[in-house]
Each structure stands twice: as C-alpha cells, then as structure tokens.
Chain A
Amino acid sequence: MNMNKKAQITEGWMWLIRILFLIMPLSLAIAFFMSSFVSSVDVTPIEATILAERVDTCFVNNGILDMNDFNTATLKNCYNSEDVNAKLELSFKEVIPIKTDNFDVYWPLCNLKGKDVPYCNEFREYVLVKDGDEYYPGSLDIKITLRK
C-alpha cells in the first residue's frame, strides 16, 4: 500500500511534467503566430496620418491658425522625436515654409527603395489664417518623413 502511494505520487509528478511539456510547445506556437502576424502588419501609413493630424493640435485652434504660433520652434515641440521630420507650407497671401532640422536629410530618400528608407507622405488641408486682425482662407501642406 505504501509502495502504491509512492507510485501515485510519482505518477502525479509525471503528469505535471507532461502538462508542462504540452503547454510549452503550445505557448511557443501561439507566440510565433502572434509575432509573425504583428510583424506583417505595417501600420506606418496610419502612424504618419496621425502625426499629420497632430499639426491641428499644435497650430490650429477652432479651425484658425494664428501666424504668431506658426514657427519652427512650435514645429520642433510638436514633433519632438528623431524618428519624425516634417515640413509645413502655409499658403495664403504668400507661401511660408517651416521645417524640422533633419527634414532635408530624409525627404530626398523617399524615392529610394530599401529597408531603411523612411516612410513619406503628404497631406493638405484647408485652414483659416489669422494674420494680425485679419483672417484669410489658406491651405496647409504637410510633408512627413517617418523612420521605420
């Protein structure tokens, strides 16, 4: 009876090991599937779109872009990341461009093909420009480079 009890305990331990052996490959398989699926989804276009939308948060208030805020310092604060570079071109009475420091380094790479080439996209929107006390209809061109 004593021996039988020992065998039962051993068998119990063996079951634990068996379950472990079953869980290990299963979790590995799930992890592999998840990682392969996640790596195949390229969300860079959405990321760039969201970053372009950030311009509205940084520069535009209630549809109005105040010329006092339209400067490189605000743009740098807006895109405070080495991975993101942007150029804004505001057109109303004249065309006024502002850009981040490394924009001219990355933008020419957009036409190249390769793994390390940044993702680039352009957006355009209607803005109401406040210059002094006057309001002007204008357009804002947003160019974004995003390091993958």
Chain B
Amino acid sequence: MKLNKKAIIGSGLATVWAIVVIAIILAIFFLLSAVILPFKKTSENVIVTDKFTLIENSESVIALLNTPFEISLSGETVKVPLKDIFILYDNNLVSNLDMENIKPQIKTSLEKAYGSCYAIKYEGTNIFEDNWQTSAYAEKWQQQGEITLTEINLISGKFSFRNLFDTCMIKNRNIENCKMACLII
C-alpha cells in the first residue's frame, strides 16, 4: 500500500511536469507566431515572386525557327525555314546567301509580337546577332536574372532568344504599357 501511494504521488508529479512542458511548448509556439505574424502580413499579397512566372517558352522560338523567309536560290526566290537557312549559311551550301537580307525579315516577323523587346543570337560558324547587345536595359535585367533566355541547339550552332517583353510585363503588369514601351503597333 505504501509503495502504491508512492507510485501515485510519482505519477501525479510526472503529470504536473508534463503540463509544465506542454505550457512551455505552447508559450514558445505563441512567441514564434507573434514573430512570424508581421512577416506574414507584409508578404500576403505576393509571396511567390513574379520572377517565377518568367518561364522559358521554347514554343515561340521553335515557331521562329520554323518561319519561312525568302532567300534567293539559283536566281529564284524561295521560302526556307530559318533553321534551314542557318544550315545553308553555315555549310556554305548556297553561294551568295546574304544574311543581311534575311535579318530585316526576321525583324519584321518578331516585331509583330514583341516590338523592339527581343534579342536573338545564333552562334554557328558565323555569329549572327540581332538586338543582342543594343539594349542597355537587357543587360541590366540580365544581371538581375530577370530575363527568360531560351536556347535551342541546332545542328551547327546554338540559337538564343531573350524575351524582354515578358520582363516588361513583370515590371509594369500592364500589356498596353508594354506595347507602348516596346513600340508595338
């Protein structure tokens, strides 16, 4: 009986200790909540930064590479997809293939969608660049890691595309403002 009494007292004390421990845990929990709550308030609107929405869209770049442009072959004007033009150009398969005549066609096509807010580069045997180095903003955004860079490896070189229109959308959140900024008619 004496032993049993001791056990009961011990058990009671252990319960008291358990309650104390639970109280301490709850106190820590409420303290942490109080610390986290102000952070929660400020970050409620945009927790997931908009940078995450800058997703590489290779479909647009594939579309450009599949776009046929006019070139002169044996005195005849034919339309050839851009990716094939690069192959012809790099391998010197066609004489007198002038990339300077193709550049304005690419420009006109891309300007329909992105105005001046794009940059392309093809690193083949002959490096071809359009708008790549000209945009000071592009360099700035590139350093901040806020430009989607899509790279597609072709047979003879790498084609790169910078979408500055998407970057503008992240900054302005208004398509009309971006159309104006990018001079889209």
Interface residues of A, Cβ cutoff 8 Å to B = 3-4, 6-7, 10-11, 14-15, 18, 21-22, 25-26, 29, 32-33, 36, 40-43, 45-46, 48-50, 53, 56, 60, 62-64, 91-92, 122-128, 135, 137-141
- Apart from A22-B18, A50-B55, list 4 A-B contacts with CB within 8 A: A7-B3, A45-B52, A60-B63, A63-B64
B54-65 CB contact bits vs A (8 Å, 1 = yes)? 010101111111
Say yes or no: A25-B22 contact (C-beta < 8 A), given A49-B55, A60-B59, A122-B175: yes
Whether A25 pairs with B114 at a CB distance below 8 angstroms is no
Whether A63 pairs with B4 at a CB distance below 8 angstroms is no
Interface residues of B, Cβ cutoff 8 Å to A = 1, 3-4, 6-7, 10-11, 14-15, 18-19, 21-22, 25-26, 29, 32-33, 36, 40, 43-48, 50, 52-53, 55, 57, 59-68, 79, 108-110, 112-114, 165, 169, 175
Whether B48 pairs with A46 at a CB distance below 8 angstroms is yes
Whether A137 pairs with B67 at a CB distance below 8 angstroms is yes
CB distance from B156 to the nearest CB of A (A): 19
Whether A36 pairs with B112 at a CB distance below 8 angstroms is no
How far does the alpha carbon of A49 sit from the alpha carbon of B36 in the complex, in Å?
29
Contact of A42 among B45, B60, B65 (CB under 8 A): B45
Measured between beta carbons, the chain A residues less than 8 angstroms from B14 are 14-15, 18
Whether B113 pairs with A124 at a CB distance below 8 angstroms is yes
How far does the alpha carbon of A141 sit from the alpha carbon of B114 in the complex, in Å?
11
How far does the alpha carbon of A90 sit from the alpha carbon of B66 in the complex, in Å?
18
Whether B55 pairs with A63 at a CB distance below 8 angstroms is no
Measured between beta carbons, the chain A residues less than 8 angstroms from B59 are 56, 60, 63, 125
Whether B21 pairs with A22 at a CB distance below 8 angstroms is yes
Most B CB contacts (10 A, CB to CB) among A21, A33, A62, A137 go to A137
Whether B112 pairs with A42 at a CB distance below 8 angstroms is no
Measured between beta carbons, the chain A residues less than 8 angstroms from B6 are 7
